[in-house]
Amino acid sequence: MCGIVGYVGNKAATNIIISGLHRLEYRGYDSSGVALLNPRTSRLNIVKTPGKIDDLETSLAAEMPAESTGATLGIGHTRWATHGEPNRVNAHPHLSRNGEFAIVHNGIIENYIALKSRLAQEGFEFVSDTDSEVIAQLVEQCYEGDLTRAVAATLEMVEGTYGIAVISVHHPSTMVAARKGSPIAVGICDGETIVASDVSAIVQHTKQVIFLNDGDILTATGDNVEVVSVKNVPVSRETTHIDWDIDQIEKAGHEHFMLKEIHEQPTAISNATRGRLVDSEGTTKLSGMQMDPYEMARIDRILIAACGTSMYAGMVGKNYFEDFASIPAEVQQAAEFRYRNPIIQRDTYMLAISQSGETADTLAAVREAQRKGATVLGVCNVVGSTIARETGRGVYLHAGPEIGVASTKAFTCQVSVMAMMAIALGRTRRLSTQVGQRMVREMMSLPEMAQAVIDQEEDIRRIAEKYAKAEDFFFIGRGYMYPVAMEGALKLKEISYIHAEGYHAAELKHGPIALLGEDVPVVGLVPDIQGKDKTIGNMQECMARKAPVIAIATEGDKDIDAHCDDVIRIPPCAEFLTPIPVVIAEQLFAYHVAKIRGCSIDQPRNLAKSVTVE
Ligand code: M6R
């Protein structure tokens, strides 16, 4: 989705903005631009271009006046088109009519048509098809010498969501930023302030970050930041220390972030479980849940709201809560939640699962559940993200930054975290110390297990090569493998552009089997779990229709070869943990298929890392 980087301070803004925009590339975008305040002419110079940041750099070199490149105030943007095609004119920043104000905007202004037609009647001309341009014109119209007040007056008129940064020729050392529904982080350095929609654009400069809340307006110079509400009441925001390293957001020798993140899973899972598995008591300790055993024992229903990969992790989690803690659990696609008028009872708890902590639909589900009186816990990866802050309690994944658009380590850590939550809840109910201990010990071997799958990458790559030309795929599984089948299909389709569907193995013959044939490979998920034999039966049905079958099975399962064409083997493990090694095998398979097909793996077409619009 769109990204913002703004700089005010004592250094040349261009490099800082461009390197920040590079860091935001993973979010997905189709055009970009930069506005700099030219210190000699006191004019705002803007360069924009469709395409990649490399194209923007070329355009900057060709079009930006030389003295502007030394500017110490500027804003930059990566745009993921919503209103108007991805071309130069629609790219941000947008200038106001008189050229005195430049803005960048993430989010959607819902009443832009009404605002635009009113402004047009008053003589404002619009050059783009975007909703965002109205903000630039409104700031100009509202300006009476105070940029912050002009922004506040503008924001009182707009409906929708925004993260914005605004600069003006009248304030050569000031940047104003604001948020409602679209994140803005503020990096505090010595003599410099960096505003960005994502901390990954900031951490190389400073680890001290303020996160704006909805309704906050920031006025920043190099030496000072002030935050007020739209009504101009000063508010204080805590500084958060970000413990991500720059190395963590580099590729570290891997060809793609996705591959790096697949390989990081043994470490990510260690970090997610470190200090949380209590062998002696056969339980887990998750202080972020902020719950005593009495409260845990009272929960009588769990609602899980999430999207995409996080939703599939939630479906695994549902099984955990029901199997280990006997708590009825339900997974809802987060976008459905607020429009369905769901039933929330007194002891209903909601889990909002989101790697980014910024997914618009999941955030909306959180707010709706809170409005209805539910206790909501976040299961997020990004520290300080909106969902993490608004839920106030929950469990961080500690998976480290996930940059590749295809979610990998977040899934395995989400599943690990929910297993730990379910064990803790189960221990306040029917789960015995002995069973708890066995589960905790099994979880301790997860990093090793993840590594054992990664060690087979070359075999998986060979199998990927054999099937990379297929244009349709099915993934089938049952029980714990049903959501993992959907996740495997999602991984393959999003990065290789192969049409892939994840189905419950039993459902195949209720329709989809009509599509099978020799060009449609089926991946059967058959580790040693309950129901495996039935899925093998379904794989036989596929082979009878000439579909090539790839099995993901447990090492040592000699019989499986008779039921498939190729086998990817995972190490033996407890049934409840099988989603982790199986999904890693699927991730590696999807990665190598996409690589063989020459796809843009870290930034697949049309996709954004964090979906901050409905
Ligand atoms: O940040 P979130 O976990 O809330 O993101 C949810 C989905 O947008 C995300 O999982 C998406 O499906 C990924 N591209 C899947 O790889």
Q: Which of 427, 444, 461 is the last residue of a domain?
A: 444
pLDDT at 604 over 90: no
Percent of the chain with pLDDT over 90: 83
Same domain, 209 and 183: yes
Q: For the segment 135-164, what is each residue's pLDDT rounded down to a tens digit?
A: 999 999 999 999 999 999 999 999 988 999
Write down the pLDDT at residue 247. Answer: 66
Position 27 scores a pLDDT of 72
Ligand 1 atom nearest 309 alpha carbon: 10
343 Cβ contact partners less than 8 Å away, ≥ 6 residues apart: none
With cut-offs at 50, 70 and 90, classify the pLDDT of residue 242: confident
* 476 lies in the same domain as 490: yes
| C-alpha of residue 571 to centroid of ligand 1, in Å | 27
Does 183 contact ligand 1 (Cβ within 6 A)? no
pLDDT digits (tens, 9 = 90+) for 101-136: 999 999 889 899 999 999 999 999 999 999 999 999
The CATH number of the domain holding residue 479 is 3.40.50.10490
CATH code of residue 78: 3.60.20.10
What's the pLDDT at 384?
A: 82
**Which residues are CB-neighbours of 291 under 8 A, at least 6 positions away?**
none
Looking at the structure, tell me whether residues 520 and 418 fall in a common domain: no
Same domain, 318 and 301: yes
Best substitution site from 359, 387, 403 to test ligand 1's pocket, by max atoms within 8 Å of Cβ? 359
Same domain, 435 and 502: no
387 and 293, same domain (yes or no):
yes
Task: State how far the Cα of 64 lies from the Cα of 67, in Å rounded to an integer.
Answer: 8
Q: Report pLDDT for 383.
A: 81
Is there an atom of ligand 1 within 6 Å of 362 CB? Answer: yes
Residues spanned by the domain of 350: 248-444
pLDDT band with cut points at 50, 70 and 90 for residue 250: confident
What's the pLDDT at 219?
98
pLDDT of residue 430: 92
pLDDT at position 252 over 80: no
* Nearest of 535, 280, 593 to residue 406 by alpha carbon: 593
Strand-pairing partners, residue 6, are 75, 195
Residue 310 Cβ < 6 Å to ligand 1: yes
Q: Is 157 exposed, middle or buried (0-12, 13-18, 19+ CB in 10 A)?
A: middle
List residues bridging with 488 in a β-sheet: none
Report the separation in Å between the CA atom of 314 and the middle of ligand 1, taken as the mean of its atom positions.
12
Domain boundary among 444, 475, 504: 444
Residues 301 and 215 in one domain: no
Q: Does 363 share its domain with 381?
A: yes
Mean per-residue pLDDT over the chain, rounded: 94
407 close to ligand 1 (CB < 6 Angstrom) = yes
Give pTM, 2 decimals. 0.78
Q: What is the pLDDT of residue 342?
A: 84
List, for residues 374-425, the tens digit of each pLDDT value. Answer: 999 999 998 888 999 999 899 999 998 898 999 999 999 999 999 999 999 9
Q: Mutate which of 312, 382, 407, 496 to test ligand 1's pocket (most atoms within 8 Å of Cβ)?
A: 407
Report the pLDDT value the prediction gives residue 294, as an integer from 0 to 100: 94
Q: Which of 611, 613, 614 to mutate to test the pocket of ligand 1 (most atoms within 8 A of CB)?
A: 611
Specify the number of domains making up the chain: 3
The verdict on residue 385 lying in a domain is yes
Say whether both 90 and 128 belong to one domain: yes
Answer with the one of 211, 242, 273 that is the final residue of a domain: 242
Ligand 1 atom having least distance to the Cα of 308: 12
Indicate which atom in ligand 1 lies nearest the CA of residue 408. Answer: 16
Could you tell me if the CB of 406 is within 6 A of ligand 1? yes
Is the C-beta atom of 359 inside 6 A of ligand 1?
Answer: yes
214 plus 258 within the same structural domain: no
Summarised one tens digit per residue, pLDDT across range 165-218 is 999 999 999 999 999 988 899 999 999 999 999 888 999 999 999 999 999 999
**Residue nearest to ligand 1 atom 14, measured at CA:** 406
pLDDT for residue 504 is more than 90: yes
Flag whether 612 is in a domain.
no
Residues serving a catalytic function are 2, 609
Q: Is residue 606 part of a domain?
A: no
What per-residue confidence (pLDDT) applies to 40? 78
Distance 247 CA to ligand 1 centre (A): 23
Residue 288 falls inside a structural domain: yes
Please provide the DSSP assignment of 443-492 as one string. HHTHHHHHHHHHTTHHHHHHHHHHHTT-SEEEEEE-TTHHHHHHHHHHHH
Ligand 1 near 485 CB (within 6 A):
no
Selected residue with higher pLDDT from 178 and 28: 178
Same domain? 237 vs 254: no
Q: What percent of the chain has pLDDT over 70?
A: 99
User: What is the three-class DSSP state of 301?
Assistant: strand
**Domain membership flag for residue 374:** yes
Model confidence at 26: pLDDT above 80: no
Residue 120 shares a structural domain with residue 214: yes
In a domain, 77, yes or no: yes
Confidence tier at 614 by pLDDT (50, 70, 90): confident
Decide if 613 is inside a domain: no
| pLDDT average, residue stretch 35-58 | 91
Nearest residue CA, atom 8 of ligand 1?
Answer: 308
Which of ligand 1's atoms lies nearest the C-alpha of 611?
Answer: 8
User: Is residue 377 a part of any domain in this protein?
Assistant: yes
